Structure 1
Amino acid sequence: MTLEIDTSKPVLVTGSTGFVGGWIAKSLIEKGVTVHAPVRDAQNDEKLKSLKEISNKEDGNILFFEADLMEPKSYDKAMADCEIVFHVASPFLYKFNDAQKDLINPAVEGTKNVLESVNRIQTVKKVIITSSCAAIYGDHIDIQSVPNKILTEEVWNTTSTIDHQPYSYSKVLAEKLAWDIEEKQNRWKLIVINPALVLGPSLSGKSTSASHELIKQLGDGRSKAGCPKFEIGMVDVRDVADAHVNAAFMDNINGRHIVYNEVLSFLSLSKMLQEKYPQLPLPKKELPKAMVWLIAPLIDKSITRKMISGCMGYSWNANNQKAIKSLDLKYRPIKESIQEMFQQLIDQGEL
């Protein structure tokens, strides 16, 4: 599919130095688009290096603007003349000290500040926001009570709180706020992408994304004795980027879009990795739920017994057909995603 893109007009991408945002920016630059990228430190050459190198080789361009997601009006300058805004920046941290400060405030206040800029900048016609399947459900047990035990775009997470699954709670609050702001005006359209667990290589070197930490745990010896019986929808980061870009430039795209390719367990991922890395201490079995419930919170405080009770041993299922059909997605196999991601962790000395 060839997208019709007016490359004379810049687009804005928040979070362009992050895991998903980097691939969105790369895709746009390769298509000849000028990307306006607000960043906290426009002089941080190490962090901006990969996107600058892509820009030097491609027809498109990237311009960095110093801005702070937590400051109102901070994005106005970067957004000037843009018709399309991708709001990708939001924390997905494996470890944090204060859920309100580290997760919820950046997600909610950041979304509010970006969309208030959108309301001020009259050229903007379309906003694509990166939400998550975490805004659709909290724990796997929640899926058992939805119609046919299959998640759809109509379902909302009603069980996460600041004390239980605070990352998921932050995604619910941020996405609901975005829809509330969109409903109060009629100049610009909001489209939301709700990916499941995002895997694949990072463009910007070492990533702080929680998905990287999860995969690292599979291979660094911490899971040698076994891994939890836990399955979830998974998707390659490049496919998530395609979903965003297609949503921006295709006609008649509306609402939320669940984006994932395969439902796999952590043990399935481990087996995919064992084929290529037999020498590493990858888990070869699943641990009993009672053992994980007892021991995991003692090893990692971010894993609570309530989370284990609500997620382990339950099936995960979601309808991804809307995104496949309306956004014309062609998914990469997760085996490719996980092996490339793992190799990058090895190359960077993290495994």
Structure 2
Amino acid sequence: DMEPAAGDGTRRKTACVPCGYGYIASALVKLLLEKGYAVKTTLRNPDDVVKNKHLKDLQALGPLEVFRANLDEEGSFDDAVAGCDYVFFDAPPVNLHAENPEKDVIEPAVHGLLNVMRSCVRAGTVKRVVLTSSAAAVSTLPLEGEGHVLDEESWADVEFLTSGKTHAWGFPVSKVHLEKAASAFALEKGISLVTVCPGLMVGAAPAAKVHPSTLDVLSLLSGESSTETN
């Protein structure tokens, strides 16, 4: 479990939430600040007024620093992770229509995650990494009959997905590779890793821009098309 934000009163606990422009990441930043944590987050371009506005607004809640970092740039998360007790990694949105998911989605996702985790090792202070994955990493597989129970030992069927090239197969495959790469790295380096696999997320978030899956869920609730909801 996470320690109290203020610890024993001598030091405020610090959490890093890379890529703070995302839906889940921005909600995490807000929640952590409300709980009393100092928070560090990152943007590719902190000078981007649109992507930075919600983070500027959140600074009213508590100590929030915004760093410049790129997932594809090795070591660029070192400053953001330095001194942190916890790191919450929510992978950036996936292009569901990528022409080459292996090259355009899966490889960059794994590279970016390991880039952040290597920064955690160099920091030497990180007690736990919390990775947001997806239920798609567990449940995307051919099932026959009823009564199936999926648990921590269950994985999406990568061979089935890649051979059949089902719609948006790059998303579940990327989540499987992401989790397995994170687990192997954490085991090798002695990092405490927790992976969360949400099935459906709804609710308000500070992010200035919402992404397609959020709009699809809202359209089911409102009866309007996702484009109208947007």
TM-score (norm 1): 0.57
Following superposition, the deviation at residue 157 of structure 1 comes to 1.2
Q: Give the C-alpha shift of residue 115 in structure 1.
A: 1.2
Match of 2:122 among 120, 123, 146: 120
What is the distance in 2 between the residues matched to 1:120 and 1:206? 32
Q: In structure 2, what residue type is equivalent to 1:109?
A: H
Distance 2:179 2:193 in 1: 10
Q: Does the alignment pair 1:154 with 2:156?
A: no
Q: Distance in 1 between matches of 2:89 and 2:80?
A: 13
Q: Per-residue deviation at 1:31?
A: 1.8
Q: Report if aligned partners of 1:84, 1:127 keep a CA contact under 8 Å in 2.
A: yes
> Contact 1:91–1:103 (CA<8 Å) still a contact in 2?
no
Match of 2:193 among 190, 196, 199: 190
Partner of 1:199: 202
SS of the residue corresponding to residue 12 of structure 2 reads: coil
- The equivalent residue for 1:71 is 73
Question: Deviation of residue 10 (structure 1)?
Answer: 2.0
- Shift of the 203–97 alpha-carbon distance from structure 1 to 2, 3 Å rule, reads farther
> Kindly, what percent of the aligned residue pairs are identical?
30
Secondary structure of 2:67's counterpart equals: strand
What residue identity is the alignment partner of 1:155? Answer: S
Match of 1:40 in 2: 44
Q: TM-score, normalised by structure 2?
A: 0.84
Unaligned runs of 5+ in 2: none
Asked if the contact 1:137–1:156 (Cα under 8 Å) also holds between the matched residues in 2, the reply is yes
Q: Choose which of 100, 118, 133 in structure 2 pairs with 1:98.
A: 100
CA drift at 1:107: 1.5
Moved over 6 A (4+): none
Q: Counterpart of 1:290?
A: none
Query: Is structure 2 residue 57 aligned with structure 1 residue 53?
Result: yes
Structure of higher CA gyration radius:
1
State the shift of 1:3 in Å.
7.0
- The 1:213–1:273 alpha-carbon spacing in structure 2 relative to 1, beyond 3 Å, is closer
Deviations 1:57-115 (A, max 9, x none): x2x22111101111111111111101111111333334334313432123111111111
3-state SS in 1 of match to 2:55? helix
Larger relative contact order (C-alpha < 8 A, sep ≥ 6)?
2
Tell me the alpha carbon deviations over residues 28-60 of structure 1, each in whole angstroms, 9 at most, x when there is no partner: 11122221112100111221111221222x2x2
Change (3 A) 1:198 1:35: same
- Unpaired segments ≥5 residues, structure 1: 219-268, 275-279, 283-341
2:176 alignment partner in structure 1? 172
Aligned-partner residue type, residue 209 of structure 2: K
1:9 and 2:13 matched: yes
What is the root-mean-square deviation in Å for CA atoms of aligned residues?
A: 2.6
In structure 2, how many angstroms separate the alpha carbons of the residues matched to 1:95 and 1:3?
A: 41
Q: CA deviation at 1:169?
A: 0.3
How many residue pairs are counted as aligned between the two chains? Answer: 220
